[in-house]
Amino acid sequence: MTQNGSNGTVKLLGTWSSPFALRGRIALHLNRVLKSKSDLLLKSNPIHKKVPVLIHGDESICESLNIVQYVDEAWPSKPSIAPLLKTPGGAAAGNLMGCLVALEEAFQKSSKGGGFCGGENIGFVDIACGAIVGPFSVIEVFSGVKLLSPDATPGLVQWAERFRAHETVKPYMPSVAEFAEFAKQKFNAQ
């Protein structure tokens, strides 16, 4: 997977609202690689024009769960990852607050007193988790429930604020208002 970055053109398929594309934009910006967009997304997914898109040979596979299923079928493993797609969401939702408290504890240990998951600098875990800060905020706006709170998750609250404000994230991270407006239009919500 690791290659010398000077071997060719870099293309990142994504939209401003995709937390998954945000991870790639932040990483590319941190390493000073991000330059411009391409038309590959329109060619790869001309009907829906959405990300993510997996390009395998001449095939374009769109939508994240379709990609997971395709990977499981194209490169089968034991155990199969496909049964995980059928897990009911109800149990996970009931455990969400417990998971956030456990995540707070893990953050406190891994940050070593620094502002980010690995210490003082943004790293892999920050990018992976930070990409969902915006969508998480939209859930809070529409539900009226604070998922990250200064009482239960003070470290995560501060981390999210630092992550959003970081110079390599801020140009790419839509505001909560932009995410909320996007959600209103996308899901016809009020």
Domain map of the chain by residue range?
Answer: 5-85, 88-187
The tokens 């504890």 sit on which residue? Answer: 105
Query: What is the DSSP annotation of 132-189?
Result: THHHHHHHHHHH---SS-TTT-HHHHHHHHHHHHSTTTTTTS--HHHHHHHHHHHHT-
Helix (H) or strand (E) holding 63: none
- Stated pTM of the model: 0.57
Strand partners, 53: 62
Please tell me the distance from the alpha carbon of residue 166 to that of residue 133, in angstroms, as a whole number: 13
Half-sphere exposure of 22 (CA within 13 A, CB side): 24
Rounded distance, CA 44 to CA 145, Å? Answer: 38
How many whole angstroms separate alpha carbon 50 and alpha carbon 95?
Answer: 31
The tokens describing 113, both together, are 């007193």
Q: What is the pLDDT along the chain (190 residues), one digit of tens a residue?
A: 444 445 556 667 888 788 888 887 777 777 665 544 457 777 777 676 677 888 888 888 877 667 767 777 777 767 655 543 334 443 343 467 777 888 888 899 999 889 999 889 998 889 888 988 888 888 888 888 888 889 889 999 999 999 999 998 998 899 989 988 888 888 777 6
- Quickly list DSSP for 12-59: ----TT-HHHHHHHHHHHHTT------SHHHHHSTTT--S-EEEETTE
**CATH of 5-85 among 2.70.50, 1.10.1660, 3.40.50, 3.40.30:** 3.40.30
Comparing C-alpha atoms, which of 6, 24, 9 is closest to residue 169? Answer: 24
Q: What is the pLDDT of residue 27?
A: 78
Where b means 16+ CB within 10 Å and e means fewer, 25-48 reads bbbbebeeebeeeeeebeebbeee
pLDDT at 10: 60
Query: How is domain 88-187 classified at the CATH fold level?
Result: Glutathione S-transferase Yfyf (Class Pi); Chain A, domain 2 (1.20.1050)
Which tokens go with 39? 């038309």
